[in-house]
Structure 1
């Protein structure tokens, strides 16, 4: 019982102190409130730079490239069947080419065949980062060892 009386007395003392502090601060305005803002300083123009990369380090965009290719060493299995070359019967060591929204397979012997069961989304999911760009198709074949 006495504990509750002491707690109420303590709470009422804290409330009284809070009310006094609030009354004192009621007319006090923090610095900067109600004062018009300072005029912004004029900014000097900076030198214009055309790009942050030098031309020899720029990578061509997807619309500037005729196609991309990646090596595929293991057998390619689609819909439960292993894909084989129509010309020589090879079933591994493919180059997979993505160009104009189509996927083409190229075997080590140089035979190419269109693969309608693959699309560019599959190609983009399975390829790694591009390590080089080439001016011609033959340069790219040489780079990939075909």
Structure 2
């Protein structure tokens, strides 16, 4: 039994030595190949280097959209609005127009960090329980910009 155990230990020691030698040979081969590749430069890279070293100034191009296709940023707008045909329920109660009692078919206006609700009859009321974050979560993409408030109302059918 002891002879078998000794023989097994010898076999495993030979395997470990062989694996160690194989790993070190692979490392040496890898380092040799890497040293050969370090000096080589692909032709595409050489072409790019030649172009970059040219004395010609590179023209500066505006890669942004042309002005007629640009949408104004939030700080360039006086406000935004969206239709909201459903009732608005806040803190367990339905929001109603203070003047006429309408409870749905709102225009929600976001301006200067405040939210205003406008009913179909044209009454407006400041809604302190809504904020710009709520508006941003519920508003879809902008489909048009208008120069006047009345133009926007006509666009939205009010």
TM-score normalized by the length of structure 2:
0.72
Partner of 1:37: none
User: Do residues 134 (structure 1) and 143 (structure 2) align?
Assistant: no
Q: Give unpaired runs (5+ residues) of structure 1.
A: 35-39
Instruction: List per-residue Cα deviations over 1:82-101 (Å, max 9, x = no partner).
Output: 11111111110000100011
Q: Distance between the aligned counterparts of 2:23 and 2:112, measured in 1?
A: 75
Instruction: Find out whether 1:47 has 2:59 as its counterpart.
Output: yes
CA shift at 1:138, angstroms?
Answer: 1.1
Q: Cα offset for 1:140?
A: 0.9
Residue 8 of structure 1: aligned partner: 13
1:80 pairs with 67, 92, 102, which one? 92
What are the superposed Cα offsets for residues 33-69 of structure 1, whole Å, 9 maximum, x if unpaired? 79xxxxx651543211134311110011111100001
Tell me how far 1:8 sits from its aligned partner. 3.0
Where does residue 97 of structure 1 map in the other structure? Answer: 109
In the TM superposition, what are the counterparts of 1:12-31 in structure 2 within 5 Å?
A: 12=17, 30-31=35-36
Structure 2: tracts of 5 or more residues without a match: 40-48
Q: Distance in 2 between matches of 1:16 and 1:103?
A: 74
> SS in structure 1 opposite 2:115?
strand
The secondary structure found in structure 2 opposite 1:56 is helix
Instruction: Tell me the TM-score normalized by structure 1.
Output: 0.77
- What SS does the aligned partner of 1:139 have? helix
How many matched pairs? 138
CA RMSD of aligned residues (A): 3.0
Change (3 A) 1:81 1:6: closer
| 2:64 aligned with 1:59 | no
Residues 90, 32 of structure 1: alpha-carbon distance in 2 compared, 3 angstrom cutoff: closer
